[in-house]
Amino acid sequence: MSQERVNFGSKLGMILATAGSAVGLGNVWRFPYMTGQNGGAAFILIYIACVLVLGIPCMMSEFIIGRHGAANTGRAYGKMGTHGMWRLVGCMSVLTGFLITGYYAVVSGWCLQYIFSSAFGELSGNPEYITRYFQDFSSSPIKPVFWTVAILALTHFVIIHGVRSGIERASKLMMPTLFVLLLMVVVGSCMLPGAHKGIEFLFRPDFSKLDSNMFLAAMGQSFYSLSIGMGCICTFASYFSRQANLMKSAVNIVVIDTLIAVLAGLMIFPAAFSVGVNPDSGPSLIFITLPNVFREAFSAMPLVGTLIATLFYILLSLAALTSLISLHEVSTAFFYEELHITRKKAALIVTVSCCIMGAFCSLSIGGREWLVIAGRSLFDVFDFVTGQIFLPVVGFLTCLFVGWVVPRDIVKDEFTNWGTLRGSLFTVYLLLVRFICPICIVAIFLNQLNLI
């Protein structure tokens, strides 16, 4: 079967699609609550420093592997490695993305449900009611599974149309829409009484909060926010043209990713401070805390509150969908090329498999004993194994691979576009990817396991 590999059709499409793979719930959900738990602006400054030292070099490494290999992530690692074990690292990255797709779709489905809940006034009530609403919905055996399948079906529809007509076209539509919606909710949030306290919290550094835990939290957030180790960056880089400036692309993507994360904070904290809600509410922020915030903040204008809440969950769903598309593509490209089948058949394998995984992960949240492993729900097991073990391991091995195993000339050629890009950045990059990044990733890994 002929499987001609395509590239992105435009530079804008390439940037938006790859940025979409990085922009997800990690930006709109995890970044704000991590900022809240770690003192606001001081955390943001440390996060930006970590992105420069850890995020961009790791992203560049995946770019180099993906573009040079011009194949799915598993095969790309194999093409560059001198030993078969490195192909296994690529396959581990594919497996990580595959497993994340299964349980990430569950949370993404919750976002779809909350669009309708907000629009039809189902989230109007006291804090106890909203908490109970989320608990009842998330543990239901039917609704969450339905929405999991629904968002995977949307993802499938994009993927089967290919790189240019599917992924690139969808990214050109969804990413600007996400940004516009974000700005609309930010404006609404910042116009509330007392919103200035939230803005000050976000942008006035409190360096008394600085400690080792903040640095480790910022490093971890920079690593996960950019979708490193999931195969997304490597797979999308395989669709880059040979003329693409990898460093410039990485910087553009990081700027978009960080801007959306900061705007998410600017959307959440002014509203939270306006009604006196603690900004370090944790992971429950978007499904329990924020509905209460929107209800109280716009109590004098219920229709405006309903509109803002609905727009918020629409943009959250778009962020989730852009990430799901990239995660799905990692596995689709792998099956498509390794099994020598059509893209539609490969996508169907991934969609059906992830629907099954997602259904079991969703059902496990209801406390069903047959879906509990070592005291953890299946959902939590997937989250722990991928997020705290697979991702840092793949990231660490990727740095060692590019820094020490791949011939230096190959890395330099890809980095400098075969000598057409001048400067000393390559030397800095090599230093970071050989020494600094592996040390940072080990620190993140040990911190997550509570060993430091």
**DSSP sequence for 160-205:** TTHIIIIIIHHHHHHHHHHHHHHHHHHHHHHTSTTHHHHHHHHHS-
CA distance 326 to 231: 9
At residue 280, the pLDDT reads: 64
* Tokens (6 digits) for 88: 């296994």
Burial class (CB in 10 A: 0-12, 13-18, 19+), 110: buried
> Tens-digit pLDDT profile for the chain (452 aa)?
445 578 999 999 999 999 999 888 888 878 888 888 888 899 999 999 999 999 999 999 999 999 999 999 999 999 987 677 899 999 999 999 999 999 999 999 999 999 999 999 898 878 889 889 999 999 999 999 999 999 999 999 999 999 999 999 999 999 999 999 999 999 988 988 889 999 998 998 888 888 888 999 899 899 888 999 999 999 999 999 999 999 999 999 999 999 999 999 999 889 888 888 776 666 677 888 888 888 888 877 888 888 999 999 999 999 999 999 999 999 999 999 999 999 999 999 999 999 999 999 999 998 788 898 988 999 999 999 999 999 999 999 999 999 999 999 999 999 999 998 888 899 999 999 999 999 999 999 998 887 76
CA angle 13/14/15 to nearest 5° reads: 95
CA 367 to chain centre: 27
* Tokens (6 digits) for 234: 């490597």
At residue 2, the pLDDT reads: 43
Phi-psi region for residue 96, left (φ > 0), alpha (ψ -120 to 50) or beta?
Answer: alpha
At residue 375, the pLDDT reads: 87
* Tokens (6 digits) for 179: 């940004």
CA distances from 445 to 77, 370, 390 (A): 23, 29, 10
* Tokens (6 digits) for 371: 């879906």
Residues in the chain, overall count: 452
At residue 1, the pLDDT reads: 42
CA 363 to chain centre: 23
Read off the pTM: 0.94
CA distance 104 to 224: 13
**Which phi and psi (to 5°) does residue 227 adopt?**
60, 35
H or E element that contains 74 = helix 73-80
Task: Please give the single-letter amino acid code of residue 142.
Answer: I
DSSP annotation of 283: G
CA distance 260 to 263: 5
CA distances from 110 to 314, 317, 361, 391 (A): 11, 9, 13, 24
At residue 281, the pLDDT reads: 64
Helices (H) and strands (E) in the chain, counts: 23, 2
* Tokens (6 digits) for 34: 């991590």
For the chain, which domains are there? 11-448 (1.10.4160)
Q: Where are the alpha helices (DSSP H) in 339-407?
A: 343-364, 378-384, 391-400
Residues 6+ apart with CB under 8 A from 102: 353, 354, 357, 358, 361, 382
